[in-house]
Amino acid sequence: MTAQIIDGKQVAADMRAELKTKVAGLKEKGIVPGLAVVLVGEDPASKSYVTAKERACEEIGIYSNDNCLSADTSQEELMALVDKLNNDPKINGILVQLPLPKHLNESEVLLAIDPKKDVDGFHPINVGKMVVGEEAFLPCTPHGILQLLVRSNVTIEGSEVVVVGRSNIVGKPIANMLIQKSDTGNATVTVCHTRTKNLAEHTLRADIIIAAAGRPDTVTADMVKDGAVVIDVGVNRVEDATKKRGYRLVGDVSFDTVKEKASLITPVPGGVGPMTITMLLFNTVQSAKIAAGL
């Protein structure tokens, strides 16, 4: 069996077109969703991510407010900016780009963001609401994974899902979303990590594998059941002298061989990646609607 590719770029483009229509409808009511991004320091990867967010906002009609602060910004200055954005009615979503420079207290900053504007879904109030199944801003990468599954008509209910990785931004939240008693949940989920004794024993049982380990070739073909759905979240740089930049991006799954066993598979790049910013835009539009009482 050769897997069908889940085209994350296309799903993201479809969702952005839907959002653009929603934003146009809100504008007719005088509502313009606004997203504030806070970047401290000069990290090139973070900078290019922020630029991509800015472009995406422009594309769908969201007001984007960028705050680029120098690397020596103090905790007090950063907290004052978060407070200002919390109280700015033009802003519906606040995103503080992580990681912050070492001298800053990341959790204090994230806790200070108004949960109603926490479009990243990292505030403990939103995490708690997600866990108990209440409406909340869902964290963007796992929410993007869920959308890829749903929009590819993958059966989630009753499926055996194995998540490889237990981080707070991917592994734990996607596991949580998939066990919810809901239309997009009801799966039986196993979460694996570096202390898991026999990873293959688990993955071989899985109808759906979600790999978020941050290590190339964590999931190889001999670890995958015929016909499984494989979602590769990993983004890893491997040296490649044939590329101008000296490296290429690969996921956590041995794509070329696993695609011969899976029924559906996401590529890297072009799978989960394009969904993350899209879900951030989605949350920002939701936040603007809620703020307007719609």
| Cα Rg, the chain, nearest whole Å | 19
C-alpha distances (whole Å) from 217 to each of 104, 252, 257 are 35, 5, 10
Residue 102 has which token pair?
Answer: 């070492």
Closest CA to 174 of 208, 205, 200: 208
Question: Does the footprint of ligand NAP cover residue 218 (CB under 6 A)?
Answer: yes
Residue 34, strand partner residues: 63
Q: In angstroms, what is the minimal distance from the CB of 189 to ligand NAP? A: 14
Per-residue interface string for the shown chain with ligand NAP, residues 84-123, x marking contact by CB under 6 A: ----------------------------------------
Marked catalytic residue, from 97, 117, 118, 252: 97
7 is catalytic: no
Question: Does the footprint of ligand NAP cover residue 161 (CB under 6 A)?
Answer: no
Among 46, 86, 152, 167, binds ligand NAP (CB under 6 A): 167
- Cβ contacts of residue 27 below 8 Å, gap of 6+? 61
Residue 225 has which token pair?
Answer: 């059941």
C-alpha distances (whole Å) from 186 to each of 33, 90, 151, 159, 175 are 33, 38, 17, 8, 11
97 is catalytic: yes
Q: In angstroms, what is the minimal distance from the CB of 240 to ligand NAP? A: 17
Among 94, 104, 161, 212, binds ligand NAP (CB under 6 A): 212
Question: Does the footprint of ligand NAP cover residue 248 (CB under 6 A)?
Answer: no
Per-residue interface string for the shown chain with ligand NAP, residues 20-59, x marking contact by CB under 6 A: ----------------------------------------
Question: Does the footprint of ligand NAP cover residue 199 (CB under 6 A)?
Answer: yes
Among 13, 98, 154, 235, binds ligand NAP (CB under 6 A): 235
Residue 38 has which token pair?
Answer: 């806070």
Among 169, 229, 262, 285, binds ligand NAP (CB under 6 A): 169
Among 203, 276, 284, 286, binds ligand NAP (CB under 6 A): 276
**Mode of pairing for the β-strands spanning 229-232 and 236-239:** unpaired
Question: Does the footprint of ligand NAP cover residue 270 (CB under 6 A)?
Answer: no
Which one of the spans 46-54, 105-113, 176-184, 214-222 is the region binding ligand NAP (CB under 6 A)?
Answer: 214-222
Residue 146 has which token pair?
Answer: 């869920």
Judged by beta carbon, residue 13 or residue 31, the one nearer ligand NAP is 13
Tell me how long the chain is. 294
The type of residue at 267 is P
C-alpha distances (whole Å) from 170 to each of 145, 199, 211, 212, 275 are 9, 18, 10, 7, 13
Question: Does the footprint of ligand NAP cover residue 15 (CB under 6 A)?
Answer: no
Which helix (H) or strand (E) segment is 112 a member of? helix 106-112
Residue 258, strand partner residues: none
What letter does residue 100 receive in the DSSP assignment? P
Q: 1: helix, coil or strand? A: coil
Q: In angstroms, what is the minimal distance from the CB of 22 to ligand NAP? A: 22
120 is catalytic: yes
Q: How many CB atoms lie within 10 A of CB 88?
A: 14
Which one of the spans 16-24, 106-114, 181-189, 195-203 is the region binding ligand NAP (CB under 6 A)?
Answer: 195-203
User: Which of the residues are catalytic?
Assistant: 53, 97, 120
Binding stretches for ligand NAP (CB under 6 A): 141, 164-167, 169-171, 192-196, 199, 212-215, 218, 233-236, 272-273, 276
